[in-house]
Structure 1
Amino acid sequence: MSEAPDVSLLVCTRDRCASLAATLASITRAADAAPEVSIEVILVDNGSADATAAVIAGWQPHFPVHRLRETRPGLARARNHALARASGRIVAMTDDDCLLHADYFAALLAAFAAVPAPAIVGGRILLGDPADLPVTVKLEDHPMTAVAGRFPGGFVMGANLAFTADVPRRVGRFDERFGAGAPFVAAEDTDFLFRAMRCGVGLHYDHRFTVDHHHGRRHRDEETRLLAGYGFGDGALYAKHWRDAWIARALLRDIADLWRDLADPVTTHVGIRAFYAFRLRHKLRGFLFYWRHALRA
Structure 2
Amino acid sequence: MTRDSRITLAVPTRDRPDLVARFLVPGLIDVTARGFAAVVVDQTAGDETRALVEPIEGVRYLRSPPPLSRGRNVAVEAAATPLLAFTDDDVAFDGGWLERVAEAFTAPETGAVCGRARTPEGELLPGRPAGTYRWPANPFGLGSGFNVAFRLAALAVAGPFDEELGAGARFRSAEDSDMLYRILRAGWTVVCSDDLDIVHHDQRSGGGLVRLHHGYGLGAGAQTAKHVLSGDRTAGRIALAQALRHFGWAARSLATFRPGAARLQLVYVRGLLRGFRERRAQRA
* TM tier relative to shorter chain: 0.7 to 0.9
Query: Are the equivalent residues in 2 in contact too, given 1:12–1:96 (CA < 8 A)?
Result: yes
1:247 paired residue among 215, 235, 249 = 235
Which residue is 2:192 aligned to? 205
Stretches of structure 2 lacking an aligned partner (at least 5 in a row): none
More helix by share: 2
Which residue is 2:61 aligned to? 67
Aligned 1:38-187 pairs, distance under 5 A: 38-49=35-46, 51-57=48-54, 59-61=55-57, 64-70=58-64, 72-113=65-106, 115-128=107-120, 137-138=125-126, 143-187=130-174
The aligned amino acid for 1:52 is T
Q: 1:223 to 1:255 in 2, by over 3 A?
A: closer
Which residue is 1:261 aligned to? 250
Which residue is 2:15 aligned to? 15
Shift of 1:105: 2.5
Q: Residue 103 of structure 1: SS of its match in structure 2? A: helix
TM-score (norm 1): 0.84
The aligned amino acid for 2:144 is M
Distance 1:233 1:273 in 2: 20
Segment of structure 1 superposing worse, 43-52 or 238-247: 43-52
Q: 1:269 to 1:196 in 2, by over 3 A?
A: farther
Cα RMSD (Å) = 2.7
The aligned amino acid for 2:67 is G
Kindly provide the CA deviation profile for residues 62-99 of structure 1, in whole angstroms up to 9, marking residues without a partner as x. Answer: xx2211111x2100001111110101121111111111
Kindly provide the CA deviation profile for residues 163-209 of structure 1, in whole angstroms up to 9, marking residues without a partner as x. Answer: 12211111111010100000111100111111111100111111222
TM-score (norm 2): 0.87
Segment of structure 1 superposing worse, 45-54 or 8-17: 45-54
Q: Residue 273 of structure 1: SS of its match in structure 2? A: helix
Q: Residue 84 of structure 1: SS of its match in structure 2? A: helix
Aligned length in residues: 279
Identity rate of aligned residues, in percent? Answer: 29
Distance 1:194 1:112 in 2: 18
Q: 1:254 to 1:86 in 2, by over 3 A?
A: closer
Q: Residue 166 of structure 1: SS of its match in structure 2? A: helix
The aligned amino acid for 1:261 is A
Distance 1:119 1:138 in 2: 22
Kindly provide the CA deviation profile for residues 40-63 of structure 1, in whole angstroms up to 9, marking residues without a partner as x. Answer: 111111133472222123x423xx
Shift of 1:118: 4.2
Q: 1:293 to 1:129 in 2, by over 3 A?
A: farther
Which residue is 1:223 aligned to? 209
Shift of 1:151: 2.0
Query: Are the equivalent residues in 2 in contact too, given 1:101–1:209 (CA < 8 A)?
Result: no
